Each structure stands twice: as C-alpha cells, then as structure tokens.
Structure 1
C-alpha cells in the first residue's frame, strides 16, 4: 500500500469515527442546523421519537407542519442503499400506495450533515393496528399485497438479500466471541442455536423460493399506522430482497391458533398477488432468526450510550437465562403454524 493509500484510509477512518461520535451525541443545535440546511426554518421545537437503530425527531417548522427528521446510523447503509430505499418510497407514493415518503428539496431526498446522512418526511398522526382485530388484519394483508405488487416490478440492486443461515451464524459468532454471555451458559447457547440452525436449514432446503422479491423486511405493528381510515406502511429502513411471508408473519399474535389470523391476512394479500402457502413453513425460520438476532443486535450496539440507558438489563445472567428459554420455545413451537 502506498503512502497516499494509507493517508486516504486514515482520513476515511477519521471521518467515520467523527460521524459515529456526532451520531451518538446528537444535540439540538446539530439537529436544527441539519433541518435548516434543507431550506426549512425551524421553530426550535424538537421531540425525540422512539427509535434506537437510527435517531428520529419531530421538529417544528415556522408557519408549517412539523417534519420528521431521520438521522441514519453511520456505516450501516451505503448512500446507494439509502437512495434505493427513497426511490422505492417515492415510487410507491406516486402510485397512490399509502406510505410515508421522504420530502424532496430541489430534487434531493437525502442530505448529509457532519458526516451523518439524514432525510425529512411529513408527520403522520394516527394509531397502530389492534393486535387481534381480524378486519384490520385483512386490511394489512391488502396493503402489503399492494406494496409487494408494485415493488416486484423493480428488484433491489443495492439493498441486501435475506440469508437466514448467515444471520444465525453471524449472530452466534458475535455472542460467543464476547464476554456478555456468561461462560457457563455458552455451551447451552451453542447447542440450542446449533439445533435451531439445523432445523432452519432443513426447512430452507425444502421450501425456499426459487427467486427472492423486494419486501419491507420489518413490517411489525409499530411500522403501520391507521391515518384517516387508511393504513400506512412506515419506515422502509430494512427493505431488502426477501420472501413474501417475512412481511406477514409478524402480525400473528395468537400463538395457540394463528390460522384464523393467517387466513385474514392472506385473503387480503391475494386481492393483489397470489401467495405461495408453502412459504408458511418458513415462519419458524424467521421467528428463530429474529430471536437470535435481537440479542446480537443489543450486544453490537452496546457502545452506543442510548442502548445502555434503554436496555440496562442486557448482559445480566437473568437476561441470558430468559434468552435461552426463548430459544427453547422456538424449538418447542416449531411447526405449530404450518402444521
């Protein structure tokens, strides 16, 4: 490597470190300066919203409605990946599909302030879906079907593609290579994760679709809002090439008898697209990945002061015992839905 290469690499590392530090300690002046760099004039009212992976704030605007300012966590997504997310949202909105798309200023939706990418979007007021409301599940199925139908015309080229086994492997590697998990529990953790991985691999080999499709990737209840009688799908931060059932299974709350819920969701979905029922056999895989990844996610973000404050119980022996119990439940409940 040449001296110039070394200098360039050092400058890149310094910029990334600076952006990470600025992100972990965003202060009001920085937030307001970023918002006003778009040409809007703030009234200095800032209200933090419930988000940990990114930083999200409601910011008041002089003589206008408040906007939502979303600051992307540095080094998580590339500029191309974020722009692909924005393009998807703007296209969906233009087609009349109820999503919240970023605001554009002189044709731009993505901005950078102090090394941190950010965007602005309109504020949406409403309520999240009721967990067991069958009518609402039907509507959610319709909305997700609409979104999948439109997104299917333009596959992602920059976003990630879902890979459950790789996710399990990476999460387990991270947990086992650090000291958060007590040494005496590591053999039990390793055995339980290995069992779930083996079960997941068998399902994937049998039921994985031939081709992945663009999906939202994280369509849980908090990312849906009922506004003026219509559900809107929010926060496409995790959009990816994936499997249709990824956007459906998170709405199943009746663990003993989820089939009625599934029936409503799929019936609504199929007003727009046919649903491959064989994908239901992958729900156990995605459920296991979500449980395994959650612990790894908390561990990977522990250097962020916001996580230490929000999750003070993480890393305790009680936490890990509960986590191991969740993993065992994943195994015990395996097949309940597809059976």
Structure 2
C-alpha cells in the first residue's frame, strides 16, 4: 500500500451505489459519522430506518480478518450479547463495491457511558464479562495477538526514523520528532520499555483470550437501558484487563472504579487481579502508538483537517511529558 489516499474515490454517488447494490433503496441522505480509521456514514433508507455503512480502510485488515470480526459479532448476537452486528444480504455480511470492502448495520440511538458513574461502571464490567465468557471457547485464528513490547518498539522506531509504514521515504520535517528531542525521547522510551518488560516478566497470562481490543467510552452505547458494544475493528487475542482499563478516569485513586468493574465482570467470569499490574504497560503502549498512528495516517486528508495540532514542537514536548508522567505514575493504576 502506498501513501495515496485510500478513500479519495468514496464520493456520495459511490457511497449510495454501494448501499443500493444490496437491494435497499436510499433516500439520498448521507451523514458522515465520527470515524477516521475507516469511513462510516448514516444512510437514509426509503420507508425504513436508516442504516450505518462502514467502508474499511484498504490494506489494513485482510478479508479473512474482517470476516472473522463479522462472524464474531453474529455469534455474540445469537448468544444474546448486546452488540451491533452487520446485516446479511444473501447470506453474506461482508460486501464489496469498487474493490472496497464495506458492511451495513442497524442504526443504534443512545448515549455513551458517563465518566465516573459507578453504577454504569458495574454494568460495563458485566457486559465485558459476558463478552469474554461467550468467546472463551473460540479464540481468534486470523486476528492479531497482543504483543505490547513489540508494539512499543515498532511505534517508537517509526517516530525516531520519521518514516511511515507505507513507504520508505521521510515524512515532512514538520511532522517529525525534532532532532534535538530525539536523545531525550530515546532515553524515555528505554526507561518505559524496561519498566514494561519487568512487569510482563513478573506476570503474563499463559493463554490470551478474544477481546474487543478498543473498548473505550465511544464504542459503547446505552440504548433502551442496556449498554451495547460497538465497533469490533480492533478485536484481537489479548488480556481481559485491556477491555476494562480505558474506563478508568481517576488517576489518584482508581481502586473504586476498578472495584465496580471487576465486581460486574465476576458475575460472569473470575478476574485474575494480577492483570491489574499490566495496566501501566498498556497505558504506555497506547500513548506511543497513538503518535505513530497519526504519523502513519497523515496522507489521509481527514487527519490533516481533524488533527491540526499534530507535529508541532509543542505537540512533541507534550508527548514527551505524557511519557514522563507514565514513568512518574508507574504503579498508580494497580495500587
């Protein structure tokens, strides 16, 4: 895949043609939804409820990996887990138009979870426990296995090199980590890598489990008094705590929030509290990977418009400060 913009051909007529290729008849209303990795739209349908059309970023996942995501969602729905599963047309949920994979799903209206709401945190723990229990016997065969140290190394290497994953040419200088900050960055990464490696060596589960993989507040919706899980684009074989820690909003004393989620989780599955010591690892990796992700996607005009602040010296100084805070707060999540 080159740095050519993947979605440049996805104009309104193409979007509507794709949707109508399923046999649905659009009323021509298209509302872009908040998605950067893929392209997601609400599409009005004649004499029916709108549908959500998701066009997958070319080259990110293989067909087999996307099909495994869909099959997982259909399995979860059949088991009574509240998820938004893709619609099937002639027995298939993964569709193709102009060489681009897409799917349609029902529209779900509701609210995202409230930060710090302990009752909702308990409910989220229940839902994640239900999810993990349902998938216990069916590990992913096509999706990735989480590997925090490798992910950290690859992301940091990219940032230091100033080159994206897509082509072996430098990024514009304005998007690169300034040369004068590279020694500090290298030292900070080395420190965090050593801390993460020690934590992983102290405990890492003997077996990974299928998880959502990106279970933040925006991927949950409260609908008819029940939370539903959205967007399984990052589903993977991972660690249970990966689907829990992103809901922690308190840094001084996260114990109460963790306690509520774990109590809800254990209504379906036992939770190994040794995993709490891995929260700091996943937090570090997420911060580093996010910066690398922005660099990798900079050929996409949507990123240029949405992340105007990216790449400045102030951005990189703030990024370094985030990493330093990770070191200073090390252990705070699990204490």
- TM-score class, shorter: over 0.9
Contact 1:23 1:116 in 2 (8 A): no
Q: Deviation at 1:22?
A: 5.2
Q: Secondary structure at the match of 1:149?
A: helix
Q: Secondary structure at the match of 1:210?
A: coil
1:7 corresponding residue in structure 2: none
Contact 2:95 2:103 in 1 (8 A): yes
1:133 corresponding residue in structure 2: 117
Across the aligned residues of Structure 1 and Structure 2, the Cα RMSD in angstroms comes to 1.1
Q: Deviation at 1:24?
A: 3.6
Return the alpha-carbon distance in structure 2 between the equivalents of residues 209 and 17 of structure 1.
37
TM-score by length of 1: 0.94
Deviates more, 1:173-182 or 1:149-158: 173-182
- From 171, 179, 200, the equivalent of 1:183 is 179
- From 162, 165, 168, the equivalent of 2:146 is 162
Contact 2:5 2:299 in 1 (8 A): no
1:254 corresponding residue in structure 2: 250
2:267 corresponding residue in structure 1: 271
Structure 2 residue 294 is matched with structure 1 residue 298: yes
Q: Structure 2 stretches of 5 or more lacking a match? A: 163-172
1:146 corresponding residue in structure 2: 130
> Residues 65-113 of structure 1: CA distance to partner in whole angstroms, max 9, x if unpaired?
0000000001000000000000000000011110000000110000111
Q: Secondary structure at the match of 1:294?
A: helix
Q: Secondary structure at the match of 1:101?
A: coil
- From 27, 30, 34, the equivalent of 1:50 is 34
Structure 2 residue 99 is matched with structure 1 residue 103: no
Contact 1:225 1:233 in 2 (8 A): yes
- From 312, 328, 335, the equivalent of 2:331 is 335
Q: Secondary structure at the match of 1:128?
A: coil
Structure 2 residue 236 is matched with structure 1 residue 240: yes
1:3 corresponding residue in structure 2: none
> Residues 191-242 of structure 1: CA distance to partner in whole angstroms, max 9, x if unpaired?
1111111100111111110010000000000000000000001000000000
Return the alpha-carbon distance in structure 2 between the equivalents of residues 249 and 318 of structure 1.
28
Return the alpha-carbon distance in structure 2 between the equivalents of residues 24 and 300 of structure 1.
17
Return the alpha-carbon distance in structure 2 between the equivalents of residues 158 and 135 of structure 1.
36
- Name whichever structure is richer in helix by fraction: 1
Q: Structure 1 stretches of 5 or more lacking a match? A: 1-15
- From 300, 305, 312, the equivalent of 1:309 is 305
Return the alpha-carbon distance in structure 1 between the equivalents of residues 259 and 310 of structure 2.
37
Return the alpha-carbon distance in structure 2 between the equivalents of residues 137 and 25 of structure 1.
41
Structure 2 residue 265 is matched with structure 1 residue 281: no
Structure 2 residue 18 is matched with structure 1 residue 37: no
> Residues 20-43 of structure 1: CA distance to partner in whole angstroms, max 9, x if unpaired?
645245210111011111111110
Q: Deviation at 1:17?
A: 6.2
- From 119, 123, 127, the equivalent of 2:107 is 123
TM-score by length of 2: 0.95
Q: Secondary structure at the match of 1:23?
A: coil
Return the alpha-carbon distance in structure 2 between the equivalents of residues 59 and 72 of structure 1.
16
Q: Secondary structure at the match of 2:253?
A: coil
